[in-house]
């Protein structure tokens, strides 16, 4: 089952920017790119550096620590030193609001 969690208004994230979002002991990043809004885990897979201070250019986030880069649409690691992809999450836009789609445990 999927749960849509409200993150922010679309106007709260400039194009080619990133916003940190913490929810239930997990940290995410939501990106606004020329191709739309995307989301991933909030920490770089290389050294656990938070990506909120990274640079977003087109559809790529660059980690502020060692400049490893990821495609935010797929999470694919693009350059050393990162070699493990980021986990990504679906994003839904409704009425100018950004929602992160998270899997929930089935209720039994």
CA 100 → CA 10, 25, 61, 82, distances in Å?
12, 15, 18, 25
Report the 10 Å Cβ neighbour count for 81: 14
Average predicted confidence (pLDDT) for the chain: 94
Q: pLDDT tens digits, residue range 7-63? A: 999 999 999 999 999 999 999 999 999 999 999 999 999 988 999 999 999 999 999
Average pLDDT score over residue span 82-103: 96
Pairing of strands 2-9, 88-89: unpaired
Query: How far apart are the C-alpha atoms of 43 and 45, rounded to whole Å?
Result: 6
C-alpha span between 3 and 105 (Å, rounded): 10
pLDDT in tens, 53-88: 999 999 999 999 999 999 999 999 999 999 999 999
Q: Which two tokens stand for residue 16?
A: 């080619």
Q: How many CB atoms lie within 10 A of CB 58?
A: 10
CA-CA distance, 48 to 42, in Å (whole number)? 9
pTM of the model: 0.91
> Which domains are present in the chain?
2-102 (2.102.10.10)
How much is the pLDDT for 95? 97
């Amino acid at each position: 089952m999927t749960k849509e969690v409200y993150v922010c208004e679309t106007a709260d994230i400039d194009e080619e920017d990133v916003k940190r979002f913490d929810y239930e002991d997990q940290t995410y990043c939501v990106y606004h790119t020329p191709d739309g809004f995307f989301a991933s885990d909030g920490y770089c897979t290389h050294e656990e550096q938070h990506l909120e201070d990274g640079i977003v250019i087109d559809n790529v986030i660059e980690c502020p620590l060692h400049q490893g880069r990821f495609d935010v649409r797929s999470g694919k690691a693009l350059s050393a030193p990162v070699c493990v992809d980021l986990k990504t999450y679906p994003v839904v836009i409704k009425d100018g609001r950004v929602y992160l789609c998270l899997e929930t445990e089935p209720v039994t």
